Structure 1
Amino acid sequence: MMSEHPDCALVRRGYVAFSEGDMETLNSLMTADAVYHVPGHNPLSGHHKGRDAVLDLFRRMGEETKGTLQIQVEAVLTDGRGHVMAFHTARADRGDRGIEVREGLFFTIMGGKVTDVDLCTEDLDQVDAFWS
């Protein structure tokens, strides 16, 4: 197997830290002004600006799903110029609702840190219903 590109390795470290609830590592992987964009029309939608706001979003996702949120990474791809696309399946329960949905994250990386993340999903309506 070829060695993994550093940007892909960075994103994979982020996925592991997210899955383990390791906020300290997640904090270290982002710039202070990082932005995480969540599509749709639900309470989590919008532009989460700044590392603290992004970490708060992640904490909220864990709390809202009572720790049931699981992410299975399918692919991590790079262009070698500071962009990474990652594809995963997210599964979670929230109250009487469950979800299983394929999603993608588009990362912008500068200086070995994540500066911007765009979340895309295969089913906006399902995601909106789950988080609303």
Structure 2
Amino acid sequence: MSEHPDCALIRRGYEAFGKGDMDTLGTLMTADVIHHMPGSSPLAGHHKGREAVLDLYRRLGEETNGTFRVRLERVLVDGRGHAMAFHMAQGDRGDRGIEIHEGLFFTIVGGKITDIDQCTQDIDESDAFWS
């Protein structure tokens, strides 16, 4: 059985993110993509537009001195332009570390990511780490 195109798109995105390949990652998104990051940390909020989303991803690396990693565990699709990805996020920031399960809910239109809603296993822990 072949992989659904939406599933393959999300896997390509995770692969590019893992390599720090923002050019490739940017090609997978629409110009008006939005990433909704939960919580109340300085990184939380609605990051609107491809450059703002890519800047968020760059900042994840900068804030953790390059230690931030995600390990993709599962991708689910509905065949109607939605995908859910589950991963383990890990990183170190100052004297604090984090290892936390997170999920991303993607909306996909025309083979490109248009919207990303992020959820986390423990929002208080995530806020404490990024604040």
Pairwise CA distance, 1:49: 0.3
- The residue number in structure 2 matching 1:59 is 58
- Deviations along 1:1-25, one digit per CA (max 9) or x if unpaired, are x211000000000000001000110
Q: Percent identity between the aligned chains?
A: 70
Cα separation, 1, equivalents of 2:74 and 2:87: 7
Secondary structure of the 2:41 match is coil
- The residue number in structure 1 matching 2:123 is 124
- The residue number in structure 1 matching 2:13 is 14
Aligned residues: 131
The one-letter amino acid paired with 1:84 is A
Which consecutive unaligned segments of at least 5 residues does structure 2 have? none
The one-letter amino acid paired with 2:96 is R
Cα separation, 1, equivalents of 2:89 and 2:3: 23
Which consecutive unaligned segments of at least 5 residues does structure 1 have? none
- Deviations along 1:69-105, one digit per CA (max 9) or x if unpaired, are 1111110000000000000000000010000000000
- The residue number in structure 2 matching 1:28 is 27
Alpha-carbon RMSD across the aligned residues, in angstroms, is 0.4
The one-letter amino acid paired with 2:30 is T
* Off by >4 Å, runs of 4+ in structure 1: none
What is the TM-score of this pair, normalised by structure 2? 0.99
The reply to whether residue 98 of structure 1 matches residue 89 of structure 2 is: no
Cα separation, 1, equivalents of 2:69 and 2:45: 22
